[in-house]
Amino acid sequence: MGSTGFAGAVSLALRNYTNVRGLATRAQYWWFVLFQVLGSLVFNVLHLGPVNVLWTLALVVPSITCGVRRHHDAGRSGWWLLTSIVPIWGLVLLLYPSKLVNNRFRTGGSLDDAVTTSFATCANCGKMPLPGQAYCTGCGAALNP
């Protein structure tokens, strides 16, 4: 699950096209969206309307399941994907960062190998502190230097 980059994210999304359990990182989700958009652009530029329709239909299920896993990664139920019918709100929700702590969708409460980050987070609430911050603004816990 540690696939990164365009090819890895697309491959992972297509392999897990029926899997609504688990997580999809923000990068994995948006690489897959880019793959969909680029495919549609190519077919539109080449005036291949019927192929574009087939392309879109073939990617409906993987798009939905990848979106559900993306919401799981952010700590929300997959049902939040329904908010995507309101474009701006749906976009905002899909841009949220991964919830690394207290995420009921993350197995064992541990960090998945799919999520890598160079930022330290509060051990209690998972909020990222600003540089030089001694206490977490989310829960008030003392932060380790």
Scanning the structure block, which residue is given the tokens 């960090």?
A: 111
Establish if 70 belongs to a structural domain.
yes
Indicate whether 27 belongs to any domain.
yes
Residue 25 forms beta bridges with which residues? Answer: none
Q: For the chain, what is the domain count?
A: 1
Q: Is residue 116 part of a domain?
A: no
In this prediction the pTM is 0.69
The answer to whether residues 135 and 142 touch, using CB atoms and an 8 Å cutoff, is yes
Looking at residue 68, its pLDDT comes to 93
Q: Domain for residue 130, yes or no?
A: no
The domain in which residue 28 lies consists of 5-99
Give me 145's structure tokens: 């230097």
Is 19 within the bounds of a domain? yes
Looking at residue 66, the DSSP 8-state letter turns out to be H
* pLDDT tens digits along 55-85: 999 999 999 999 999 999 999 999 988 888 8
DSSP state of 68: H
Residue 18 lies in a domain: yes
Q: Is 140 part of any domain?
A: no
Residues 6+ apart with CB under 8 A from 25: 70, 73, 98, 114, 115
Q: Hunting for tokens 């989310």 — which residue is that?
A: 138
Residue 145 maps to a domain: no
